[in-house]
Amino acid sequence: MAVHIGKQSVKFDLCAVVTATASTVGTKEGEGPLKEYFDVVLKDNLAGKDSWEKAESEIARQNISLAIKKAGLKNEDVDYIITGDLLNQCCGSTFGIRDMGIPYFGVFGACSTMGEAMALGALLVDGGGAKRVVAAASSHFCSAEKQFRFPLELGTQRPQTATWTVTGDGAAVLERKGKGPKITGITTGKIVDMGITDGNNMGAAMAPAAADLIERHLKDFGVAPDYYDVIATGDLGYVGRSLVCEMLEQKGITLGDRYIDCGIEIFDRETQDTHSGGSGCACSAVTFAGMLYSKLKSGEINRLLFIPTGALMSPTSLGQGESIAGIAHGVVIENVR
Amino acid sequence: MDKQKQQEYQKMVERASPNSPIFADCLRAFLVGGIICTIGQCIMNFCLSMGADMENASTYTSVILVVAASILTGLGWYGKLGKFAGAGSIVPITGFSNSVTSPAVEFKKEGYVLGVGAKIFLIAGPVILYGVISSMLVGIVYYFVR
Question: Are B79 and A208 within 8 A, CB to CB?
Answer: no
Q: Within chain A, what is the greatest distance between any pair of CA atoms?
A: 55
**Residue B17 predicted with pLDDT over 90:** yes
The phi and psi torsions of A157 (rounded to 5 degrees) equal -105, 145
Distance from CA of A51 to the nearest CA of B (A): 7
**Residues on chain B touching A158 (C-beta within 8 angstroms):** 83
Domain boundary residue among A175, A201, A234? Answer: A175
Strand A230-233 with A303-307, pairing: parallel
Residues 6+ apart with CB under 8 A from A184: A11, A12, A15, A332, A333, A334, A336
Read off the pLDDT of residues B97-107 as tens digits, 9 standing for 90 and up: 999 999 999 99
Best probe of the B interface among A51, A141, A154, by most B CBs < 10 A, is: A154
Task: Tell whether A120 and A265 lie within a shared domain.
Answer: no
Q: Is residue A235 pLDDT above 90, yes or no?
A: yes
Summarize the confidence of residues A322-331 as an average pLDDT: 97
Residue B3 pLDDT class (50, 70, 90 cuts): confident
Task: Examine the domain organization and report whether A214 and A168 are in the same domain.
Answer: no
DSSP state of B18: P
Residue B73 to residue A239, Cβ atoms within 8 A: no
- The one-character DSSP state at A329 is -
Say yes or no: A168 and A188 in one domain.
no
For A113, the domain range is: 3-175
What are the chain B neighbours of A50 within 8 Å (beta carbons)? 109
Burial A289-308 (b: 16+ CB within 10 A, else e): bbbbbbbbbeeebebbbbbb
B16/A242 touch (CB, cutoff 8 Å), yes or no: yes
Question: What is the least distance, in Å, from the CA of A337 to any CA of chain B?
Answer: 42
- Cβ separation B13–A159 shorter than 8 A: no
Q: Whole-angstrom Cα distance, residue A240 to residue A223?
A: 24
Whether B97 and chain A come into contact, CB under 8 Å, resolves to no
User: Residue A159: its chain B contacts at CB < 8 A?
Assistant: 20
Q: What is the pLDDT of residue A169?
A: 98
In this complex, the residue of B80, B89, B106 whose CB is nearest that of residue A151 is: B106
Separation CA A152–CA B1 (nearest Å): 41
CATH code of the domain covering residue A225? 3.40.47.40
Beta bridge partners of A301: none
Q: Is A48 helix (H, G, I), strand (E, B) or coil?
A: coil
Task: Say whether A151 and B109 touch across the interface (CB within 8 A).
Answer: no
Are both A238 and A107 inside the same structural domain? no
- Domain edge (last residue) among A127, A158, A175: A175
CB contact set of A194 (below 8 Å; sequence gap of 6+)? A205, A208, A323, A326, B5, B6, B9, B10
Q: In this structure, are A226 and A278 located in the same domain?
A: yes
Residues A36 and A127 in one domain: yes
User: Does A170 share its domain with A190?
Assistant: no
SS (H, E, C) B91-105: CCHHHHHHHHHHHHH
Q: Which of A154, A175, A196 is the last residue of a domain?
A: A175
Q: What is the pLDDT of residue B1?
A: 52
SS3 of B15, please?
Answer: helix
pLDDT digits (tens, 9 = 90+) for A53-99: 999 999 999 999 999 999 999 999 999 999 999 999 999 999 999 99
Tell me the nearest-neighbour CA distance from B67 into chain A, angstroms: 15
DSSP code per residue over A251-266: TT---GGGEEEHHHHS
Q: Do A188 and A292 have their domain in common? A: yes
A201 vs B contacts (CB less than 8 Å): 13, 17
B3-to-A30, A153, A276, B6, B14 alpha-carbon distances in Å: 43, 39, 27, 5, 17
Domain count, chain A: 2
Q: What's phi and psi for B43, nearest 5 deg?
A: -60, -45
Question: Do both A218 and A161 map to the same domain?
Answer: no
Residue B140 distance to chain A (closest CA, Å): 32
Task: Classify residue A44 as exposed, middle or buried by CB count within 10 Å of its CB (0-12, 13-18, 19+).
Answer: exposed
Q: How far apart are CA B134 and CA B128, in angstroms?
A: 10
Question: Shortest CB distance from A51 goes to which of B76, B79, B109?
Answer: B109
Residue A223, C-beta contacts closer than 8 angstroms, at least 6 positions apart: none
- Decide if A239 and B16 are in contact by the 8 Å CB cutoff: yes
Closest-CA distance of chain B to residue A156, Å: 5
B80 interaction partners in chain A (CB closer than 8 Å):
155
pLDDT of residue B78: 96
Identify the CA nearest to A285 among candidates A145, A168, A195, A181: A168
Pair (A237, A330) in one structural domain: yes
Same domain, A23 and A152: yes
B90 to chain A, any CB pair closer than 8 A? The answer is yes
List of E strands, B1-146? none
Q: Is the pLDDT of residue A311 over 90?
A: yes
Helices B93-106 and B54-74 cross at an angle (nearest 10°) of 40
Question: Which SS3 state, helix, strand or coil, does residue A332 take?
Answer: strand
Residue from B106, B110, B123, B127 to probe the interface with A (highest A Cβ count within 10 Å): B106
Q: Which pLDDT value is given to residue B2?
A: 82
Mean pLDDT of A266-272: 94
Task: Please give the full DSSP string across A133-193, using - where no structure is assigned.
Answer: EEEEEEE-HHHHHHHHS--TTS-----TT--EEPPEEEEEEEESSSSS-EEEEEE----B-
Q: DSSP state, A325?
A: E
Neighbours of A112 (CB within 10 A): 34
pLDDT tens across A121-178, in order? 999 999 999 999 999 999 999 999 999 999 999 999 999 999 999 999 999 999 999 9
Residue of chain A whose Cα is closest to the Cα of B79? A155
Q: Buried (b) or exposed (e) across B39-58, using 16+ Cβ within 10 A?
A: bbeebbeebbeeebeeeebb
Helix (H) or strand (E) segment spanning residue A120 = helix A113-126
